[in-house]
Amino acid sequence: MISLKSSKPSDTDGIKLIAGNRRAYHEYFMVETLEVGIVLLGSELRPCREGKVNLQEAYAEVDGAGQLWLFGASIAHNPFSNQMNHDPFRKRRLMAHKKQILKLGHKVQASGHTLIPLKMYFRDGRVKVEIALAKGKRQYDKRETLAKKDLKREMDRELSGKR
């Protein structure tokens, strides 16, 4: 029997990054992460493939009906969809199991955490969003994180012998 798939394991596991939220790691402590699907319109897919997505001001919420929504994410207009174009800042539904959504909703209400998107990517041809249950950092936490990062960079530089 002949196998059509490559015997080599893929190093990317079928993942193509669309957008990341690097600022989130500076602003928040990540408590827990979850991969969810996202409901997109047809005119939103092409800008996703081109990487014209911004997650900087985005956040997620659980509504009263037990649904998970993404707010503030910007997906640029598709120049080829003229009249049938979408609103770049519309709210988008995130898909996860009901138990996962309710668990996240209870944690957000009870502990004052927030849900933020960390990255958006294609996994096996489907758009996925990685959201995190996060706790906000104070100003002194941010300074401490930067100091640790600088110290680590200096140590790595000294160990490698480059100056």
DSSP H or E stretch at residue 95: strand 92-95
CATH number of the domain bearing residue 96: 2.40.280.10
| Dihedral angle sign, alpha carbons of residues 10, 94, 135, 28 | positive
Over the chain (163 residues), what is each successive 10-residue block's mean pLDDT?
46 79 87 92 87 91 90 87 79 93 89 90 92 87 89 91 67
Could you tell me if residue 40 is inside a domain? Answer: yes
> What pLDDT is stored for residue 130 in this prediction?
94
The answer as to whether 125 is a domain residue is yes
List alpha helices for 28-96, DSSP H.
42-49
Does the model's pTM come out above 0.75? yes
Q: What is the DSSP letter of 36?
A: E
Provide φ and ψ at 131, rounded to 5°: -105, 155
pLDDT at 3: 44
Q: Which domain holds residue 140?
A: 15-158
Domain total in the chain: 1
Within-domain flag for 3: no
CA–CA separation, 88 vs 57, rounded Å?
13
3-class DSSP state of 25:
helix
For residue 5, being part of any structural domain is answered with no
pLDDT of residue 162: 66
Looking at the domain assignment, is residue 146 inside a domain? yes
Return the pLDDT at 9.
45
The answer to whether residue 163 sits within a structural domain is no
Structural domain contains residue 9? no
Task: Quote the DSSP letter at residue 24.
Answer: H
pLDDT at 160: 87
Q: Which amino acid is present at 157? A: R
User: Look-up: residue for tokens 């758009």?
Assistant: 127
pLDDT at 8: 46
Please report whether residue 49 resides in a domain: yes
